């Protein structure tokens, strides 16, 4: 299953690190199923990452407001499936394989706050509904959970 990786984090937690960002990018670079890596995080980390660009990678500046940040990150995604990761942990290839296998059966998979997988259309629908209903959201998982009729499948 081909997918886009969306590395999305405000880089404010103690456990977030630039080293985790670099390691996660490497995991996705080596995965032939990953067609695109979208990175949306702090400007400082984006500038460091931009010094070593790669063909799969696209960088999106993190907006100040949660909804705009979520929308901007997702607008850059080009594949029908997206794996969303944070920066508290390095992406584990085995967990990634499990997520993608589950995503083939169900459109919204939740492992933890730093690893989720979605059908991109479901996320777009949920974010659009958030605009229309003025619901406050601060994560992709929250958007799907609050605004779609599709509960998250937790693994």
The domain segmentation of the chain, as residue ranges, is 3-154
Whether pTM > 0.85 for this model: the answer is yes
Could you read off the pLDDT of 81-123 as tens digits, one per residue? 999 999 988 999 999 999 999 999 999 999 998 999 999 999 9
> CB-side exposure of 150: number of CA atoms within 13 Å?
20
Helix axes 43-50, 18-30, angle to 10 degrees: 50
Sheet containing 81-85: order of strands: 57-61, 34-41, 3-8, 81-85, 115-119, 108-112, 153-154
**What's the token pair of residue 60?**
């999106």
Q: Considering the domain 3-154, what is its CATH architecture?
A: Alpha-Beta Complex (3.90)
pLDDT band for position 67 (50/70/90)?
confident
Rounded to 5 degrees, what are φ and ψ at 7? -90, 110
């Amino acid at each position: 299953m081909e997918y886009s990786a969306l590395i999305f984090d405000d880089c404010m937690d103690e456990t977030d690190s630039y080293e985790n960002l670099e390691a996660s990018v490497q995991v996705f670079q080596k995965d032939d199923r990953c067609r695109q890596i979208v990175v949306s995080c702090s400007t400082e980390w984006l500038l460091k990452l931009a010094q070593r660009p790669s063909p799969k990678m696209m960088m999106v500046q993190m907006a100040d407001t949660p909804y705009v940040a979520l929308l901007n990150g997702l607008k850059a995604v080009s594949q029908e499936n997206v794996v969303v990761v944070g920066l508290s942990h390095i992406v584990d290839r085995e967990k990634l394989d499990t997520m993608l296998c589950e995503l083939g059966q169900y459109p919204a998979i939740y492992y933890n706050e730093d690893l989720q997988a979605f059908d991109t259309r479901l996320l777009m629908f949920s974010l659009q509904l958030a605009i229309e209903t003025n619901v406050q959201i601060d994560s992709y998982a929250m958007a799907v959970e609050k605004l779609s009729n599709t509960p998250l499948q937790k693994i």
